[in-house]
Structure formats: C-alpha cells, structure tokens
C-alpha cells in the first residue's frame, strides 16, 4: 500500500467510527440544564428519538409536567421557575420514591427521580440503557424505588 494513502485511510476510518457512535453529551455543572428544551436537545444529541406526548399533572408535585417519549419509553419532565424552587420540591421526595411530601405512592415499576437545574425528571422503569443515559445527562438520581411489592 502506498504510504501517502495510509494516513488518509486511517483518518477516514477513525472519523467514520466517531460519527457512527454518537457520544453522550455531558452537561457541565452550572451550564444550565434548566429547561425542558435543553434536556430534549441533550437526549437528541445522544442519538435518541424524542417526542413530546402530552402534558401531565401529578398531585404530588406543584408544577405541571410534560411527558416525552424517548425511544418509545415515557419520561415525565417538570420544569420549575428556578433551581431554588426545584430544590425545595425535590427535598420532599423520599429517597426510595415511596412518597413525595405527604403523598404515598405505589409504583408499577421502580421510580427514578432526577433533579438538575430547574428540572425534576421522573423515569418509571428498569431499562438499564435508558437509565444509564439519563444518569450520564442528569447525574445520579435523587430517589430510586424498588417497584411493586408483592
């Protein structure tokens, strides 16, 4: 093989490998994971299919939320006026997700509550790939439940 072609071929192989595997975007602390649109953009940048499904009201949270479908799995996103308001509400969520404030909750699958910037994100499920992507984007959950009790 001609030595002049080898660097070009190597660069082409490396660049095609990099573009084929979309890296998980990282949101640096203080960079503003403070809005619904920033979260949706981060999920899409990770190569996920994201669609807004509907609005939702949970009786245990003070703000309305939006349900998004991420690769066919529903996630609830609650956007607060600012991080202080979100933190005040997040503080009422039990570490195992079994209650929020005075509301006791029975889950069909394990709940995972995330809190970052002005958002509380709720994923109810056990899908490890999606859960890991949420951890990569939002950080460790503030509450993790165990799902239904037989």
Q: Say yes or no to pLDDT of 144 above 80.
A: yes
Taking only the tens place, the pLDDT of each residue in 93-139 is 999 999 999 999 999 999 999 999 999 999 999 877 889 999 999 99
Number of Cβ within a 10 Å radius of residue 114: 23
Q: Would you put residue 18 in left (φ > 0), alpha (ψ -120 to 50) or beta?
A: alpha
Q: Is the pTM of this model over 0.85?
A: no
Spatial CB neighbours of 134, under 8 Å, sequence gap ≥ 6: 75, 112, 114, 121, 123, 141
Q: What is the DSSP letter of 93?
A: B
Radius of gyration of the chain (CA): 19
Per-residue pLDDT tens over the stretch 66-84: 999 999 999 999 999 999 9
pLDDT > 70 fraction of the chain, expressed in percent and rounded: 75
Distances, alpha carbon 124 to alpha carbons 32, 106, 114, 148, in Å: 24, 11, 11, 11
Query: pLDDT by residue (tens digit) across 31-58?
Result: 456 689 999 999 999 999 999 999 999 9
For every residue of 27-47, DSSP letters joined together read --TTS---SHHHHHHHHHHTT
Q: What pLDDT shows up at residue 85?
A: 95
Q: CB neighbours of 108 closer than 8 A, spacing ≥ 6? A: 124, 147, 148
Residue 19 has pLDDT above 70, yes or no: no
Q: What's the pLDDT score for residue 12? A: 33
**In the predicted model, is pLDDT for residue 150 greater than 80?**
no
């Amino acid at each position: 093989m001609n030595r002049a072609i080898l660097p070009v071929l190597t660069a082409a192989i490396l660049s095609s490998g990099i573009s084929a595997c979309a890296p998980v975007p990282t949101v640096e602390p203080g960079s503003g994971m403070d809005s619904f649109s920033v979260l949706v953009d981060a999920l899409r940048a990770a190569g996920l299919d994201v669609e807004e499904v509907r609005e939702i009201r949970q009786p245990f949270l003070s703000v309305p939320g939006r349900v998004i479908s991420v690769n066919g799995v529903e996630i609830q996103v609650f956007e607060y006026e600012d991080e202080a308001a979100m933190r005040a509400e997040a503080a009422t969520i039990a570490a195992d997700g079994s209650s929020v404030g005075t509301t006791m909750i029975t889950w069909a699958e394990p709940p995972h509550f995330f809190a970052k910037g002005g958002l509380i994100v709720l994923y109810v499920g056990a899908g490890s790939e999606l859960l890991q992507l949420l951890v990569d984007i939002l950080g460790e959950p503030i509450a993790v439940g165990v799902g239904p009790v037989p």
